[in-house]
């Protein structure tokens, strides 16, 4: 088997065969979701705890649905009302949960590296559902699956990632994954929203959409992460939309069959035109959500197999 990791913490530590293994398994679940809905209950008897220290709609919901459809007992910890609010440290929370013997912990946290810190303290499989600006591995995997299904391959594509790169863990995980699979990656956005050190990432950087999008196969838009900005990154949303918001006119320089992606939540009229986002001939945004469930099923199933093997050998 080519996926033997105990946790899914980031794309950085995955090899191309491991990525392919995850996507192949997810494809099977995606087909089952569209058909029989029979996934064979591979997580039966296992307990999955979702701990979201940051707000989430689609990521939390899809992890919950994925776990339930695979037969796990799923619990959502309400982090807003938990002892974390009383000042309990992340490590104390982790140790408390660990004592309840969970099998899968799904964690989102506002600090980069927090999920790894937690994974080092517990005896179960940990999945990173987004840590600060660092990584969001299941998002990059679901984006990759969506691209592979739409384009028939996941290599040698021209892929533009546009907007607020600096604050985005989605961008970071996607750049890592799409780079490992040998695609040509272009980052497009205002210089104020480019991370420092971007010149060493093996990507092309553009500060205008008209040249950056030329001939692209895939156009991935990002949300302006206002909660991570301390002011002064863009002149105004109106101006930003004018220069960087994706609409049909800007998209016209990309390939005729270019697909449009967005991880959600979207700011319509800020980073993307609402009509284009809903255009089923161009936008694969709904497929991304659909593939999110399949990818999370695959990740939890493979980690559960590894966990069972490790426990049997212990
Ligand atoms: C992203 C996230 O939380 O990092 N959303 C998501 O998981 N679908 C992107 C975002 O918040 O803009």
Locate the ligand 1 atom nearest the alpha carbon of residue 58 and give its number: 8
Phi, psi of 126 (to 5 degrees): -115, 135
Q: Is the CB of 292 under 6 A from ligand 1?
A: no
Q: Can you give the pLDDT at residue 91?
A: 85
**pLDDT surpassing 70 at residue 223:** yes
In 25-61, which positions are buried (b, 16+ CB within 10 angstroms) versus exposed (e)?
A: bbbebbebbeeeeebeebbeebbbbbbbbbebebbbe
Q: How far is the CA of 53 from the centre of ligand 1 (A)?
A: 13
Locate the ligand 1 atom nearest the alpha carbon of residue 129 and give its number: 7
Q: Is the CB of 167 under 6 A from ligand 1?
A: no
Q: Specify the pTM.
A: 0.96
* Span 86-128, pLDDT tens digits: 667 888 888 888 999 999 999 999 999 999 999 999 999 999 9
Q: How far is the CA of 314 from the centre of ligand 1 (A)?
A: 37
Residue at token pair 């609409």: 247
pLDDT band at 71 (very low <50, low <70, confident <90, very high): very high
Q: Is the CB of 264 under 6 A from ligand 1?
A: yes
- Both structure tokens of 92: 């104390």
Q: What is the mean pLDDT of residues 75-90?
A: 76
Locate the ligand 1 atom nearest the alpha carbon of residue 136 and give its number: 4
Q: How far is the CA of 68 from the centre of ligand 1 (A)?
A: 22
């Amino acid at each position: 088997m080519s996926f033997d990791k105990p946790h899914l913490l980031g794309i950085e530590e995955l090899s191309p065969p491991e990525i392919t293994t995850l996507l192949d398994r997810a494809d099977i679940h995606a087909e089952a979701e569209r058909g029989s809905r029979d996934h064979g209950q591979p997580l039966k008897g296992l307990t999955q705890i979702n701990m979201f220290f940051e707000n989430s709609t689609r990521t939390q919901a899809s992890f919950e649905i994925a776990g339930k459809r695979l037969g796990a007992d799923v619990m959502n910890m309400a982090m807003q009302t938990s002892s974390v609010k009383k000042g309990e440290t992340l490590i104390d929370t982790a140790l408390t949960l660990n004592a309840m013997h969970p099998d899968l912990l799904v964690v989102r946290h506002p600090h980069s590296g927090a999920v790894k810190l937690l994974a080092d303290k517990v005896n179960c499989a940990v999945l990173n559902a987004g840590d600060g600006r660092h990584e969001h591995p299941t998002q990059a995997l679901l984006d990759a699956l969506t691209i592979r299904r739409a384009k028939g391959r996941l290599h040698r594509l021209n892929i533009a990632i546009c907007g607020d790169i600096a604050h985005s863990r989605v961008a970071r995980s996607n750049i890592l994954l799409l780079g490992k699979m040998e695609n040509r990656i272009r980052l497009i956005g205002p210089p104020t929203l480019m991370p420092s050190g971007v010149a060493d990432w093996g990507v092309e950087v553009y500060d205008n959409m008209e040249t950056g999008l030329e001939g692209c196969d895939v156009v991935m838009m990002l949300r302006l992460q206002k909660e991570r900005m301390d002011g002064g990154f863009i002149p105004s949303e109106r101006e930003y939309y004018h220069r960087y918001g994706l609409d049909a006119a800007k998209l016209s320089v990309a390939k005729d069959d270019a697909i449009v992606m967005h991880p959600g939540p979207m700011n319509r009229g800020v980073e993307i035109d609402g009509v284009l986002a809903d255009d089923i001939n161009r936008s694969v945004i709904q497929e991304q959500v659909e593939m999110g469930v399949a990818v999370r099923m695959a990740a939890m199933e493979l980690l559960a197999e590894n966990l069972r093997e490790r426990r049997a050998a212990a």
